[in-house]
Amino acid sequence: MKKITIIDYGMGNIRSLYNSVKFIGYDPIFYSQKNKIDSNFCILPGVGAFNQAMKLLIEKKISVELEKFIKNKNNMLFGICLGMQLFFDESSENFNTDGLGMIKGKVKKISTKKKDILPNVGWFKTNIKQTKTFNYLSQFDNEKFYYVHSLVAKPDEMTNEIATCEFNGEKFCAITAQNSNIIGTQFHPEKSSKIGLEFLDCLIKNSVN
Amino acid sequence: MRTIARIDIKNENVIKGINLEGLRKVGNPTEIAKKYYSEGIDELLIIDSVASLYGRNNLFNLIKSITNEIFVPITLGGGIRSLKDIENSLNSGVDKVAINSKALEHPNFLKEAVTNFGESTIVVNIEAKKIDDKKWEPYKFCGRERTNLNITNWIKTIQNKGCGEILLTSIDKEGTETGFDIDLINEVYELTDKPLIVSGGCGKINDIQIINQKFPNVSVALASVLHYKTLKISEIKKILR
């Protein structure tokens, strides 16, 4: 059974992610600072605040491990929600905090309009762009996934944005990717019913040997 | 709009009452949860209806059997009284917790919960009873105990302490299948900028349509109409498309 590493650094609920990975037929293992990442597919989850997450990743020396992990082009790092936002240079949540700096760009509040209801929560249609590297994801174009967030990632380069979703008529980044071995979703595939599980399975199948 | 199935549990059975009283057994929680999941429900809301009254918290094994096979967001409410309770809930596989009584007694608990687990994890559960014309009071312990607060002030406190969503149950309408309490929803809708879930009173498809038209972004939590098979989830989804 293929091993899937789930980073456990104390930010939010990882049990449901564990359950979903197991349900689709893989062997999920938690990683905290004590062991090492010993699989080719690593998931960085996260619910909560950006600054707190970065503090823990640095304290537990996980950020260094992730840097090493992505140096190997056969590995895949997959971020979910806050985990995806952490890939970027910085976030303005609470106060400005440096991120992992793996993808150029910033994380900002989705809206500063007073009337907008936040967090943005629900099932939203997601548009997947045609890309060479992730062409296998195009089958999920127009599907609805479950989102819950108040901030969004804004990649500097459009090539780092491979899917979009809309909030009150404005597009935001739904999936970001860098090279062929870093990808992140703003939505939660592990909470997006059958289609979410298919997405997760498809990503794992296509990205590691 | 999200369609949420509300499953109230007492002694490991799904139960349903009227005005949060006169509980009647409906079936097995795991079977019912799985059924709604396979039919395409957006979320599940599981409430332990006596936990807060007796200070119990013994649902976790049952919850684990549900979360192992259901992959939509799950909120657990009833008897959430400490940060440890929240941690245990998340470890049993749920994504959010709904807090009522403890928040009414110690509003700062909401702030602590949001700081520790992120606002999207924390749902405030309001059980409102009408006390006068256009006046409602939030009740504790699943509609059993008064607080002498009013909804307007309580919403202001919640806004100030923080949360990710508000679940608003009308005790007067709950289980009656006579339509949602539009006046109550209107009052709360004007006062908050949090995502709102309304519960209590849904009896027919038109009740959902009214909410959908009047209150964009408001979601519905349904119990009787699903438990007694008055409405099908597919049928609800069709009109919301």
Query: At residue B125, does pLDDT exceed 90?
Result: yes
- Residue B24 token pair: 């009647």
pLDDT tens string A25-35: 999 999 886 67
pLDDT tens string A35-61: 778 899 999 998 888 999 999 999 999
pLDDT above 70 coverage of chain A, percent: 97
pLDDT tens string B40-55: 999 999 998 877 556 5
Q: What is the predicted pLDDT for the residue at A36?
A: 78
Catalytic residue among A42, A81, A165, A173: A81
Q: What is the predicted pLDDT for the residue at B18?
A: 83
Closest Cβ opposite residue B42 in set A12, A118, A123 = A123
Q: Does A121 touch chain B (CB under 8 A)?
A: yes
Q: What is the predicted pLDDT for the residue at A157?
A: 97
Q: Kindly state the average pLDDT of the residues B58-66.
A: 83
- For residue B10, the distance in angstroms to the closest alpha carbon of chain A comes to 24
Q: What is the predicted pLDDT for the residue at B179?
A: 96
Q: Does A149 touch chain B (CB under 8 A)?
A: yes
Q: What is the predicted pLDDT for the residue at B53?
A: 54
Query: At residue B233, does pLDDT exceed 80?
Result: yes
Burial A62-91 (b: 16+ CB within 10 A, else e): bbebbeebbeeeebbbbbbbbbbbbbbbbb
Neighbour tally for B180: CB within 10 Å:
24
- For residue B225, the distance in angstroms to the closest alpha carbon of chain A comes to 22
Q: How far apart are CA B216 and CA A164, in angstroms?
A: 22
Q: Kindly state the average pLDDT of the residues A137-161.
A: 97
Q: Does A159 touch chain B (CB under 8 A)?
A: no
Q: Which domains does chain B have, with CATH numbers?
A: 3-240 (3.20.20.70)
Which residue does chain B place closest to A115, by CA atoms? B193
- Residue B170 token pair: 């009308």
Q: Indicate which of B1, B71, B94 best probes the interface with A, i.e. most A CBs within 10 Å of its own CB.
A: B71
Catalytic residue among A42, A67, A190, A198: A190
Contacts of B71 in chain A (CB under 8 A): 16, 19-20, 23, 190-194, 196-197
Query: At residue B57, does pLDDT exceed 60?
Result: no
Q: What is the predicted pLDDT for the residue at B55?
A: 55
Tell me the ipTM for this assembly: 0.92
Q: How far apart are CA B204 and CA A197, in angstroms?
A: 32
Strand order in the sheet with A182-185: A27-31, A3-7, A41-44, A76-80, A182-185, A170-178, A161-167, A120-128, A143-149
User: How many separate domains does chain A show?
Assistant: 1
Number of H helices, E strands in chain A: 5, 13
Q: What is the predicted pLDDT for the residue at B139?
A: 94
Task: Tell me which residue of B112, B129, B225, B137 sits closest to B171, measured CA to CA.
Answer: B129
Q: What is the predicted pLDDT for the residue at B52?
A: 59
Q: Quick check: is B127 catalytic? A: yes
Q: Do A117 and B195 touch (CB under 8 A)?
A: yes
Catalytic residue among B8, B42, B165, B187: B8
Query: At residue B19, does pLDDT exceed 90?
Result: no
Task: Tell me which residue of B87, B3, B6 sits closest to B46, measured CA to CA.
Answer: B6
CATH number at A96 reads 3.40.50.880
Q: What is the predicted pLDDT for the residue at B69?
A: 92
The answer to whether residues B163 and B124 touch, using CB atoms and an 8 Å cutoff, is yes
Q: Does A167 touch chain B (CB under 8 A)?
A: no
pLDDT above 70 coverage of chain B, percent: 97
Q: What is the predicted pLDDT for the residue at B116?
A: 87
How many Cα neighbours within 13 Å face the side chain of B162?
15
Task: Tell me which residue of B16, B6, B17, B77 sits closest to B48, measured CA to CA.
Answer: B77
Q: Share the mean pLDDT of chain B.
A: 91
- Within 146-175 of B, beta carbons closer than 8 Å to A belong to 164-165
- Which domain, by its residues, includes A107? 3-207
Q: What is the predicted pLDDT for the residue at A209?
A: 60
Q: Kindly state the average pLDDT of the residues A166-181.
A: 95
Nearest-5° angle of CA B192, CA B196, CA A46?
100
Q: Quick check: is A173 catalytic? A: no
Contacts of B194 in chain A (CB under 8 A): 117-118
| SS3 call for B46 | strand
Q: Do A116 and B193 touch (CB under 8 A)?
A: yes
